[in-house]
A and B are shown apart, each in its own frame.
Chain A
């Protein structure tokens, strides 16, 4: 308010100074030509001062027409930071993996410059975001100061003032539209592939009593159900995903564990980066030995009393009828007793999984508390056939020790999207504000450049 009053009185002073020059009885044209100029300047500055509210309203109005949305701008900015961060995690894990393999020089000479350019990129885009928010929230004050400068007599600071007003208006309108411009110029498929990050891990899957489940298939899906990786475990229930070609995603993903035609699905969120163990437990499964399993469904509780590689005795309790599934090979003999009474399976399935013939019996356990005995007898110990494994790093990300240069491409794509495109957009905004400043009465390109880039 004070600034606006100051600007108004300055413009009045300019007007009366012009009149004064008219009255001076010296007939020099060089002096007299200032008179009408000062009077018009004074009137124009006063018009601008009174239009202060209209100028602020114009910013909101034009922004509304163009579809300005600060909320989506904030969201876009956070997403960009996340995509840079996930690429950084991938590079860091790769660097660590390479150092542990003995290729530390590759980490220093190749991965480090990539990481530092990504860090500079993060600094730049954060500065750009903070600058936009600052100018937009400071717009009223910037415009007031610009009006004061504009009203100073004799056009002393007219250019600077007009530039300040123009920059404040154009950037308040234009900055939130950056995502539209950047996404049009700089969108590049390659970067999205790394949005899940990359982590080296040892994977263990256990059953409800702590035995390892052998020979399962471990599949990793993204949150929108795209297959990212597939690994086969060995007979000890262990998947070694610590080699650089393998690895798992470092952000939240869906895991599906398949075993003998049944599968378990869960969501895994790795909590810390770098090397870690992933341990999963199938809470309703009991693994007797390789490829023989017992699973319970709809049971309130069950306790395993004794277990060997051929049979399991457990105490179950359920409030309604529950189901028990015994999985064995088709050459096995499967028996079940409930409270020492033999039980007939309600359903039998025969199928082949990974070239091994399975026979599965489904039993209905009545409600209440019972002692259940399941025996799966057989001597065959086949090894399931191999599956087509999909290595996360080698196949999905396309990265391996042999072609590390490939990593430069997503980094360059990010640099194009988050550095070159915003710089182009800023120069467009600057030239627009210079044009608007010329309209408002003189421009000063140097002031605009310093205000925007030198801050």
Chain B
């Protein structure tokens, strides 16, 4: 279906952009952390950006695993359950 292949290409594009942006924001975050600007808030912003970027990279890599786990649990759960109690 056109829509499905369109969404699949969209997913690939988004993943690619996410990796690139991860590298970018990780670099910017460390740069802000290391800059000699004497405002604590800016430093905290930098730390937050680094942490977000690392978490994002982690979840990006785990994406396939997450959905595989869901599929596995669903197939396990669908074993026919015992008959309901009759009155």
Contact = CB atoms under 8 A, between A and B. Distances in A.
Contacts of B78: 53-54, 57
Interface in B1-55: 1, 3-4, 7-8, 10-11, 14-15, 17-18, 21-22, 24-25, 28-29, 45, 48-49, 52-53, 55
B11 A23 contact: no
13 contacts: A6-B3, A6-B7, A12-B11, A15-B67, A19-B59, A19-B63, A22-B55, A23-B22, A25-B25, A47-B74, A50-B70, A50-B73, A61-B81
Closest 8 interchain pairs by CB?
A50-B74, A25-B25, A22-B56, A23-B21, A23-B56, A20-B18, A23-B22, A9-B7
Nearest to A29: B48
Interface string A223-235: 0000000000000
Contact of B66 (A43, A51, A54): A43
Given A25-B21, A43-B70, A54-B74, A20 B49 contact: no
A17 B14 contact: yes
Contacts, number: 93
Nearest to A46: B70
B11 A6 contact: no
Contact of A27 (B8, B22, B48): B48
Looking at chain A, what size class is its interface with the partner chain? 20 to 34
B70 to A, nearest CB: 5
A16 B18 contact: yes
B14 A16 contact: yes
B20 to A, nearest CB: 8
A346 interface: no
B12 to A, nearest CB: 9
A51 B67 CA distance: 13
Contacts of A61: 81, 84
Contacts of A25: 21, 24-25, 28-29, 49, 53
Contacts of A46: 67, 70
Contacts of B29: 25
Interface of B: 1, 3-4, 7-8, 10-11, 14-15, 17-18, 21-22, 24-25, 28-29, 45, 48-49, 52-53, 55-57, 59-60, 63, 66-67, 70-71, 73-74, 77-78, 81, 84-85
Given A16-B14, A50-B70, A53-B78, A23 B52 contact: yes
Contact of A22 (B10, B59, B81): B59
A314 to B, nearest CB: 65
A15 B14 CA distance: 10
A47 B73 CA distance: 9
Contacts of A17: 14
A5 B17 CA distance: 24
A199 B48 CA distance: 88
Contacts of B77: 51, 54
Contacts of A20: 14, 17-18, 21, 56
Nearest to B17: A20
A65 B82 CA distance: 12
Given A43-B70, A54-B78, A24 B8 contact: no
A50 B52 CA distance: 29
Interface string A41-53: 0010011001101
A43 B11 CA distance: 15
A46 to B, nearest CB: 5
A50 B71 contact: yes
Given A19-B63, A23-B25, A43-B66, A10 B7 contact: yes
